[in-house]
């Protein structure tokens, strides 16, 4: 596959800006084609924690609560309101009259069924640990449920927001079975399922009876194009209409194409390199993990690889997160200190060999960033083998503990501190590469705190512990660059929703 720089040169030689007309091909266009780096892992909601999957599913299913696109303030959606009856009981009122795509009613039974499905260990939902404090769901009436928890659960509403909890149709799953429903989804959302051609495309059409109003866009097609360069060429050829993660070097090319423009936002997603201490090896020594932070020049990576299109983070949260700790300072670039720490830990940098797993095409220039990190570590003699994975393979390696010493990952939307700290710094959670008994004990104490100030202080302490223990190479908060066809009236969101209900023709 050609590199994206090769594609840029080729398109410039062809004169892409004048080769395609700015109007004409889009006239009468009834569908939006979105180029993504991977296909969904499943089409069944509340199954897997994966943005690529859920960005597609959120067009088929609805959440109980959503977020206002600019402020990220929580808004009622399938739920209309909530009441905290006591520390262990929440009452949720549901929107009446809503139907699933197959005509089945959305009601309290659907919420109860979905929660019980999610919590059943046999179903292996990635969301099960997130909802572990939920003890039961009581049906009060057709449009009201009470959620009972085993301990105070301060983030319950967060766990009922957006893709964390999207109700399933009980009758449909019981009649058709899980395997069928996972390939032929039925939700309450703005688009209904048409077809899923594996490794090629997912096709949806508008829900004419959507409770919130009929979508303006007739059809939505997700095309699966793993390489950045191929997605870019497809955008500039008019084959796709939206591309996420335009390479920074290509911004001017897209803007001058007369077909599309780059629309950007500061994302709530963070990127980092996990330093895996879950298995035998150098990363079990804190001094080695700290050395990795001193040996990697994050500012240089942002400037040279990402062309300044990122905001550095010093700890595990960004300023968009409600638990952000501004007093945490970044590890400075200090290769000499890195060498000293490695030698104190008993490692000769010139003899140290490490493996870094990375996806390709999932995050902005993820493969290129990983290769640049390997080159920086090589400056002090460390040899790093970069293993490039297809996105699904990368996730499988992380959750099955088969990565090398390090892995590159992004996490988001990262708006609430427990949603970052709890899953990423406990060794038995799906996407964690790190364990520390004292940190995990502190997390268990913090998650049941309800008082906002005490809660903030508890999670701030954990973040400082994680920083000192160097669980990650702390990198940056993404700046998302979307290439969007000029005929589409749509702009990106900080929470990365690709929700086509918000799109229309210009």
Alpha-carbon 241 to chain mean position: 21
Mean pLDDT (the chain, rounded): 93
- SS3 call for 378: helix
When pLDDT is averaged across residues 282-306 and rounded to a whole number, the result is 98
pLDDT grade for 70, boundaries at 50, 70 and 90: confident
Please tell me whether the overall predicted TM-score, pTM, comes out greater than 0.85 for this model: yes
- Six-digit token string for 367: 């493969």
In CATH, the number for domain 65-170 is: 3.90.76.10
Q: Is 258 exposed, middle or buried (0-12, 13-18, 19+ CB in 10 A)?
A: middle
pLDDT at 238 over 50: yes
Three-state SS string across 55-114, please?
Answer: HHHCCCCCCCEEECCCCCCEEECCEEEEEEEECCEEEEEECCCCECCCCCECCHHHHHHH
State the distance between the two ends of the chain, measured CA to CA, in whole angstroms: 35
Q: pLDDT tens for residues 189-212?
A: 999 999 999 999 999 999 999 999
Q: What pLDDT score does 25 carry?
A: 40
- Three-state secondary structure call for residue 356: strand
In this prediction, residue 28 carries a pLDDT of 53
Please give the average per-residue pLDDT across 96-107, as a whole number.
98
Would you tell me how many other CB atoms lie within 10 Å of the CB of residue 477? 21
pLDDT value for 490: 96
- Given a contact cutoff of 8 angstroms between Cβ atoms, the answer to whether 482 and 246 are in contact is yes
- Cβ neighbours of residue 385 under 8 Å, at least 6 residues apart? 353, 354, 355, 356, 374, 404
Query: Computed from CA positions of residues 3, 395, 298, 414, in that sequence, does the dihedral angle turn out positive or negative?
Result: positive
| In contact, 467 and 316? CB cutoff 8 Å | yes
pLDDT at 60 over 70: yes
Is 351:343 a contact under the CB 8 Å cutoff? no
Q: What is the DSSP letter of 328?
A: P
Over the stretch 458-493, which tens digit does the pLDDT of each residue have?
Answer: 999 999 999 999 999 999 999 999 999 999 999 999
Question: What class is the 4-37+190-259+486-505 domain?
Answer: alpha beta
Structural contact between residues 190 and 205, judged by C-beta atoms closer than 8 angstroms: no
Side-chain half-sphere exposure of 353, counting CA atoms within 13 A: 2
170, 174, 180, 184: CA torsion to nearest 10: -30
Comparing CA positions, the residue from 450, 395, 349, 481 lying closest to residue 39 is 395
Query: How does strand 353-359 pair with strand 383-389?
Result: parallel
Do the domains at 65-170 and 267-479 have one common CATH topology? no
Say which CATH class 267-479 falls into.
alpha beta
The mean pLDDT value for 173-190 works out to 98
**pLDDT tens readout for residues 315-340:** 999 999 999 999 999 999 999 999 99
Per-residue pLDDT of 1-47, as tens digits, reads 344 444 444 444 334 433 333 333 444 578 999 999 999 999 999 99
Looking at residue 402, what is its pLDDT? 97
Rounded CA separation 339/327 (Å): 27
What pLDDT sits at residue 334? Answer: 98
Q: What is the pLDDT of residue 29?
A: 74
Helices (H) and strands (E) in the chain, counts: 17, 19
pLDDT score at 57:
98
Query: Would you kindly state where each structural domain of the chain is located, as residue ranges?
Result: 4-37+190-259+486-505, 65-170, 267-479
Query: How do residues 83-92 score in pLDDT, each as one tens digit?
Result: 999 999 999 9
Q: What is the pLDDT of residue 5?
A: 45
pLDDT at position 13: 35
What is the three-state SS of 222-238? EEECCCHHHHHHHHHCC
218-229, pLDDT tens digit by residue?
999 999 999 889
Q: What is the C-alpha separation between 433 and 276, in angstroms, rounded? A: 5
Residue 196 to residue 254: CA distance in whole angstroms: 29
**Residue 24 DSSP code:** S
């Amino acid at each position: 596959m050609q590199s994206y720089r090769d594609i840029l040169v080729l398109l410039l030689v062809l004169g892409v800006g004048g080769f395609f007309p700015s109007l004409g091909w889009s006239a009468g266009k009834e569908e939006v084609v979105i180029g993504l780096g991977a296909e969904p892992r499943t089409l069944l909601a509340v199954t897997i924690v994966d943005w690529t999957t859920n960005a597609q599913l959120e067009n088929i299913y609805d959440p109980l609560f959503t977020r206002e696109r600019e402020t990220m303030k929580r808004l009622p959606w399938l739920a209309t309101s909530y009441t905290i009856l006591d520390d262990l009981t929440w009452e949720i009122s549901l929107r009446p009259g809503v139907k699933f795509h197959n005509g089945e009613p959305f009601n309290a039974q659907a919420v109860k069924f979905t929660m019980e499905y999610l919590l059943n260990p046999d179903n292996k939902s990635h969301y099960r640990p997130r909802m572990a404090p939920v003890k039961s769901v009581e049906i009060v009436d057709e449009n009201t449920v009470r959620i009972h928890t085993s301990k105070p659960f301060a983030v319950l509403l967060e766990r009922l927001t957006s893709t964390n909890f999207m109700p399933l149709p009980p009758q449909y799953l019981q009649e058709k079975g899980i395997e069928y429903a996972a390939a032929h989804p039925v939700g309450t959302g703005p688009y209904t399922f048409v077809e899923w051609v594996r490794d090629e495309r997912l096709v949806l059409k508008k829900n004419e009876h959507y409770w919130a109003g009929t979508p303006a866009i007739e059809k939505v097609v997700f095309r699966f194009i793993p390489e950045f360069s191929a997605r870019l060429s497809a955008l500039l050829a008019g084959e796709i209409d939206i591309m996420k993660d335009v390479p920074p070097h290509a911004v001017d090319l897209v803007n001058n194409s007369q077909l599309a423009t780059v629309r950007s936002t500061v994302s709530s997603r963070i990127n980092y390199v996990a330093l895996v201490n879950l298995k035998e090896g150098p990363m079990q020594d804190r001094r080695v993990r700290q050395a990795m932070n001193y040996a990697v020049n994050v500012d240089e990576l942002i400037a040279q690889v990402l062309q300044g299109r990122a905001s550095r983070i010093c700890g595990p949260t960004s300023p968009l997160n409600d638990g952000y700790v501004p007093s945490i300072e970044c590890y400075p670039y200090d290769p000499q200190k890195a060498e000293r720490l490695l030698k104190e830990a008993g490692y000769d940098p010139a003899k140290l060999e490490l493996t870094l797993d990375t996806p390709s095409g999932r995050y902005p220039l993820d493969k290129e960033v990983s290769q640049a990190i390997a080159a920086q570590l090589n400056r002090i003699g460390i040899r790093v083998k970069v293993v490039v994975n297809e996105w699904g393979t990368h996730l499988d390696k992380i959750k099955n503990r088969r990565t090398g010493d390090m892995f590159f990952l992004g996490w988001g939307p990262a708006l609430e501190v427990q949603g970052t700290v709890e899953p990423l710094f406990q060794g038995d959670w799906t996407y964690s590469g790190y364990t520390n008994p004292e940190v995990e004990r502190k997390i268990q104490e913090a998650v049941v705190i309800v008082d906002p100030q005490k809660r903030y202080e508890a999670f701030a302490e954990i973040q400082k512990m994680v920083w000192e223990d160097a669980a990650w190479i702390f990198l940056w908060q993404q700046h998302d660059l979307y290439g969007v066809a000029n005929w589409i009236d749509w702009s990106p969101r900080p929470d990365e929703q690709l929700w086509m209900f918000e799109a229309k023709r210009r």
